Amino acid sequence: MGCGSSNAGDQLAGQQAQQQQWTDQSVQNINNAFAGFTPQFYQGVGQAYQNYQMPLLQQQYQSNKDQTGFKLADQGLQNSSQAQNMYNQLNQANSQGQQQIAQGALGQQQTLQQQVSNEQANLIGQAQTATNPSAIGQQAISNAASFAAPSSFQPLGQMFNNYATQYLGNQQNNAYNPATLALLSQYGGYGGYGGGGGGGYIPKAMY
Amino acid sequence: MGCGTIAGLALTAAGTGANMYANNQVRGKMNDLTNQELARNQGFEQKAQGVFNNSLQQSTPQAANQQIGQGQQQLAGLIQNAQQVPLSSSTPSFGNVNTMAEGAKTAMSNKAASDLGGYSNYTLQQRLKDQQAGSQLGVIGSEAQGWANVLPAQLQQAQGSQQGLQSLGALLNAAGMLTGLSGWGSAATSGIDPGVNSAVNAANFNNNVGWMYPALQSPGALYGGY
């Protein structure tokens, strides 16, 4: 009489209340661990990417500018309209490179933001069954720190490839093209037509 | 009606009362538990509704325009920063270089790039807020499910909580029946038609609620209707 009445309901309710407390505490710990990932942090990452890539772009720009100058000088075209066009194209390529770096910086920010959010969501998923909020909090701190560490960026690719292929490469080929040389010889070389101290007429076919 | 019969009726009535009390207690407890669970569930529902509504508010056309605009500004700022970096050496200057046209081309290209980049911010922000809402709803759903799983065990426990009183009621009923039978035995010897008593006894005994008076034989009447 009265013996054997189960208190399984109370036990389960107690366990559930405890679980809820652990889950809430774990979520709190996770959110605290990821609190440093503010918009300013992501902007800093973008800026760091830009700061890393811009000197590389400048280096490439300088190299292509030098090559352009050498080629133009070699052909006596330094002050020609073609020189103007080539430098304009070089500057356009440089602007596009700068744009690409800016887009890359934004991409870096956004990728990192997505990764951080994925990791946070993953940890919160684990928190639903967590029995040790401290442990999950430690894990969150560790994971957050791995994102917060300075990123290593991929080196910049060849940003002036198109320019070099289209202008420097073609010009080089054309300079040694016997047909071109024969054509040019009719006008007395590069500086022989158009006057104006090597202003230079270049047959359109060359480009 | 002999003393035995009266004692039997009294015992049966006591048993019935004990059973009724126990059943009422069980029913009340089960109702309380169910109501508690319903209230808790409503709390979770409200919480989830808040999270969902908050997420929904960030999916409006206005929010989309704002996020696209933010992305465009962000990328425009980055491009501007990149183009402010001085070149390592000055570009050769030509008298007839059309820098204005080149500048206009660059500005158009920059604007097109930043306009396009704004959309990537919109999709990212939508993904992030969906993920965040999903995580929050996951936690709420998990907790709600956990409590829902507890209810059956609590109801079972409530059902068993009055087991002692219910057993006492059954015992009293049985004792009442036995005493009544012994009363019937003495009544038989005193000339009362034993057949009448036993028929009444048999009709009035109900397995579920014990002994009932004929007027209250309908369980609905006894409990005021289910």
Q: Which DSSP category does A189 fall into?
A: S
CB atoms within 10 A of CB A160: 23
CA nearest A22 in B: which residue? B143
CA nearest B22 in A: which residue? A2
Task: Report which of A13, A26, A22, A8 is spatially closest to residue B146, judged by C-alpha positions.
Answer: A13
What's chain A's Rg over C-alpha atoms? 33
Instruction: Give the whole-angstrom CA distance, residue B155 versus residue A6.
Output: 11
The per-residue pLDDT of chain A, averaged, comes to 81
Q: Identify the pLDDT of residue B104.
A: 85
Instruction: Give the whole-angstrom CA distance, residue B191 versus residue A148.
Output: 101
Q: Identify the pLDDT of residue B62.
A: 95
Helix or strand (DSSP H, E) at B54: helix B3-57
Q: Identify the pLDDT of residue A151.
A: 66
Task: Report which of A149, A48, A38 is spatially closest to residue A108, judged by C-alpha positions.
Answer: A48
State the alpha helices, DSSP H only, in chain A.
8-33, 39-74, 81-127, 133-148, 161-163, 170-175, 178-186
Q: Identify the pLDDT of residue B189.
A: 53
- Cβ atoms of residues B75 and A102 within 8 Å: yes
Confidence bin at A39 (pLDDT 50/70/90): very high
CA nearest B134 in A: which residue? A121
Residues from chain A contacting residue B132 (CB–CB below 8 Å): 117, 121
Instruction: Give the whole-angstrom CA distance, residue B217 versus residue B226.
Output: 14
Is the CB of A153 inside 8 Å of chain B's CB atoms? no
Strands B210-211 and B205-206: antiparallel
Beta bridge partners of B205: B211
Closest CB to B75 among A61, A65, A102: A102
Q: Identify the pLDDT of residue B175.
A: 83
ipTM (interface pTM): 0.73
Q: Identify the pLDDT of residue B186.
A: 58
Q: Identify the pLDDT of residue B220.
A: 43
Read off the tokens for A44.
């800093």
Does A171 have pLDDT greater than 80?
no
DSSP-based three-state secondary structure for B211: strand
For chain B, percent helix, then strand, then coil, each to nearest 5?
Answer: 85, 0, 15
Cβ A110–B85 below 8 Å, yes or no? no
Beta bridge partners of A187: none
Higher pLDDT, A35 or A198: A35
The residue with tokens 């005021």 is B224
Q: What percent of chain A has pLDDT over 90?
A: 47
Cβ A92–B105 below 8 Å, yes or no? yes
Q: Identify the pLDDT of residue B174.
A: 85
- From the CA of A189, how many Å to the nearest CA of chain B? 23
- From the CA of A96, how many Å to the nearest CA of chain B? 8
Q: Which residues of chain B have pLDDT under 70?
A: 1, 85-98, 183-226
Q: Which residues contact B198 (CB under 8 A, 6 or more apart)?
A: B184
Closest CB to B143 among A23, A81, A94: A23
Is the CB of B97 inside 8 Å of chain A's CB atoms? yes
- Cβ atoms of residues B95 and A84 within 8 Å: no
Is the CB of B78 inside 8 Å of chain A's CB atoms? yes
What's chain B's Rg over C-alpha atoms? 41
- From the CA of A37, how many Å to the nearest CA of chain B? 13
Q: Identify the pLDDT of residue B57.
A: 94
Average pLDDT of span A155-177: 72
- From the CA of B196, how many Å to the nearest CA of chain A? 35
The residue with tokens 């770096």 is A101
Q: Which of A57, A95, A129 to substitute to test the interface with B, most B CBs within 10 Å?
A: A95
Does A102 have pLDDT greater than 90?
yes
Does A202 have pLDDT greater than 50?
no
The residue with tokens 């969902």 is B52
Residues from chain A contacting residue B121 (CB–CB below 8 Å): 106, 110
CA dihedral (A116, A118, A124, A127) positive or negative: negative
- From the CA of A119, how many Å to the nearest CA of chain B? 11
Instruction: Give the whole-angstrom CA distance, residue B188 versus residue B198.
Output: 11
Per-residue pLDDT reduced to its tens digit, A71-84: 888 888 888 888 88
pTM to 2 decimal places: 0.71
Q: Identify the pLDDT of residue B225.
A: 42
Average pLDDT of span A25-31: 95
Confidence bin at A200 (pLDDT 50/70/90): very low
State the count of interchain CB pairs (< 8 A) between A and B: 157
Residue length, chain B?
A: 226
Average pLDDT of span A48-74: 91
CA nearest A106 in B: which residue? B75
Does A106 have pLDDT greater than 60?
yes
Per-residue pLDDT reduced to its tens digit, A7-25: 889 999 999 999 999 999 9
Instruction: Give the whole-angstrom CA distance, residue B178 versus residue A199.
Output: 133
Does A157 have pLDDT greater than 50?
yes
Residues from chain A contacting residue B134 (CB–CB below 8 Å): 121
CB atoms within 10 A of CB B64: 16
Q: Which residues contact A3 (CB under 8 A, 6 or more apart)?
A: none
Burial (Cβ within 10 Å: 0-12, 13-18, ≥19) of residue B115: middle
Is the CB of B167 inside 8 Å of chain A's CB atoms? yes
Instruction: Give the whole-angstrom CA distance, residue A112 versus residue B128.
Output: 12
Per-residue pLDDT reduced to its tens digit, A116-149: 999 999 999 999 888 899 999 999 999 998 887 6
* Chain A from 19 to 38: CB within 8 A of any B CB: 19-20, 23-24, 27
Higher pLDDT, A177 or A111: A111
